[in-house]
Amino acid sequence: MNAGASVTGMGATTPLGGDVASTWEGMLAGRSGVVAVEEEWARELPVRIAGRMRVDPAEVLGRVSARRLDRCQQAAVVAAREAWAAAGAPEVEPERLAVVIGTGVGGVLTTLAQDDLMEASGARKVSPYTVPMLMPNGPAAVVSMELGARAGAHTPVSACASGAEAIAMGLDLIRLGRADVVVAGGAEACLHPLTMAGFGQARALSTRNESPREASRPFDAGRDGFVLGEGAAVMVLEREEFAAARGAGAHARLAGAGTSSDAHHITAADVAGQARAIRLALASAGLAALDVGHVSAHATSTPIGDVTEARSIAETIGTHAAVTAVKSMVGHLCGAAGALGAMAAVLALRDGVIPAIRNLEEPDPEVKLDLVGGEPRRGRWDAALANAFGFGGHNASLIFTRA
């Protein structure tokens, strides 16, 4: 068996809840965290819905601490603290503890807000914390300082594959002997008129402004685009021998990971590239396609993207696996999406239940998969695949097995 990593702790803050328990309960209940954006700045936008974090991370951290962190960094710290505590705060040498937190755009809210402030009031009004708050490596940096991690603080910036690629890199660090424990995941907070207008102009977003909770509908024939969301998801990965020596329990085992690049198109996905990542993950895990009983799909709710992924899954895994899509409930968390999808796969294996795809009223006939619709599906699955794909042709696939 190929070397894997024990998943000993998880943390999250999402549109469904401020922690893992509330997020998972919301997924199993089929609730939606998508809401109307009612601020003045959104009134002229063609898209006025989003998946906002249900619990403001600044309220959790305290206003004083939060003021020096971009919202993306705040979310990362909240999720990392929960994951670390859930893992039992492992006693590990700082030089054997690493952090990998991916993000799509990092502190874009700080960048835009400080630019507006400078234009309105001059350079002397710009915050001295601007650069540490806007830099994409900020989430990984603040989490590494929070935990005293000195084996490395890394930041994959791979669009919507970032969170999953961070977890893949965490496995690599453990397999390479560079760390015993890795805190890995993704964070994103980019709800702003510029990002929403940009995605809107690209015709990537759903325009169901009058029915926010019905807007995100992966694999449904009536889907018309994704819903932009925000949040963070983080997991603690441990070298299996290290976790066993300290008597740590595991939610699941990260058995393998695969990454690839399409070199095809800046926004259009490619079946061959996605399939390559899935096959590499299977090989990394030492598993066959038939071993995978569940897929936590990337499935953003775009007309072309969902069909492309369905074909890549059918080509590599087959059509036997039970497939879900958690973005139907939280929207698309961009750089955090892959980590949240991975967390859902871990919980499905642990608890023996797969959340149903919300808003799946009429499955797209082009999607030849076993979609979990209506009610959560209960059972026992030994292995699960979690996919994440990003603009630029970034592909990341993770394989988890039962602990």
pLDDT digits (tens, 9 = 90+) for 300-332: 999 999 999 999 999 999 999 999 999 999 999
- Label each residue of 224-276 as H, E or C: CCECEECEEEEEEEEEHHHHHHCCCCCCEEEEEEEEEECCCCCCCCCHHHHHH
% of the chain surpassing 70 pLDDT: 100
Distance between CA atoms of residues 14 and 229, nearest Å? 8
The residues near 154 (Cβ < 8 Å, ≥ 6 apart) are: 98, 99, 100, 101, 140, 166, 169
Confidence bin at 1 (pLDDT 50/70/90): low
Which one is predicted more confidently, 381 or 268?
Answer: 381
Give the global pTM: 0.98
The residues near 383 (Cβ < 8 Å, ≥ 6 apart) are: 255, 285, 287, 291, 292, 293, 294, 349, 399, 400, 401, 402
Q: 154, 294, 332, 394: which is the annotated catalytic residue?
A: 332
Q: 72, 160, 190, 334: which is the annotated catalytic residue?
A: 160
Q: Are the C-beta atoms of 171 and 257 separated by less than 8 Å?
A: yes
Among candidate residues 332, 292, 291, the one with its CA nearest the CA of residue 186:
332
Confidence bin at 2 (pLDDT 50/70/90): confident
State the number of CA atoms in the 13 A half-sphere of 3 facing the CB.
15
332 labelled catalytic? yes
Residue-averaged pLDDT of the chain: 97
For residue 21, pLDDT beyond 90: yes
334 labelled catalytic? no
Distance between CA atoms of residues 370 and 10, nearest Å? 28
pLDDT digits (tens, 9 = 90+) for 195-225: 999 999 999 999 999 999 999 999 999 999 9
Domains of the chain, each with CATH number or no CATH: 5-402 (3.40.47.10)
* CA 62 to centroid of chain Cα atoms: 25
Q: 154, 251, 294, 298: which is the annotated catalytic residue?
A: 298
Q: Are the C-beta atoms of 340 and 161 separated by less than 8 Å?
A: no
Averaged pLDDT for residues 362-379: 98
Q: Are the C-beta atoms of 395 and 261 separated by less than 8 Å?
A: yes
Paired residues of 23 in beta bridges: none
Q: Tell me, what's the pLDDT at 372?
A: 98
For residue 190, pLDDT beyond 90: yes
Q: Are the C-beta atoms of 367 and 130 separated by less than 8 Å?
A: no
Q: Are the C-beta atoms of 259 and 81 separated by less than 8 Å?
A: no
For residue 187, pLDDT beyond 70: yes
Distance between CA atoms of residues 368 and 232, nearest Å? 31
* CA 296 to each of CA 143, 189, 293, 357: distance values in angstroms, whole numbers, following the listed order: 26, 22, 10, 10
For residue 27, pLDDT beyond 70: yes
Averaged pLDDT for residues 1-22: 95
Q: Is 265 exposed, middle or buried (CB count within 10 Å of its CB: 0-12, 13-18, 19+)?
A: exposed
Element (H, E) at 353: strand 353-354
Among candidate residues 110, 331, 61, the one with its CA nearest the CA of residue 208:
331
DSSP3 helix / strand / coil % (the chain, rounded to 5): 40, 20, 35
- List strand residue ranges (DSSP E) for 142-230, in order: 153-154, 181-188
CA dihedral 124, 128, 130, 132 (to 10 degrees): 160
Q: Tell me, what's the pLDDT at 392?
A: 95
* CA 4 to centroid of chain Cα atoms: 20
Distance between CA atoms of residues 253 and 251, nearest Å? 7
The residues near 386 (Cβ < 8 Å, ≥ 6 apart) are: 164, 295, 296, 338, 341, 342, 344, 345, 397, 398, 400
Confidence bin at 228 (pLDDT 50/70/90): very high
The region, left, alpha or beta by phi > 0 then psi within -120 to 50, assigned to residue 307 is alpha
Averaged pLDDT for residues 226-243: 98
* CA 344 to each of CA 26, 76, 318, 340, 373: distance values in angstroms, whole numbers, following the listed order: 11, 18, 21, 6, 16
State the DSSP code for 8.
Answer: E
Among candidate residues 41, 43, 23, 42, the one with its CA nearest the CA of residue 33:
23
% of the chain surpassing 90 pLDDT: 98
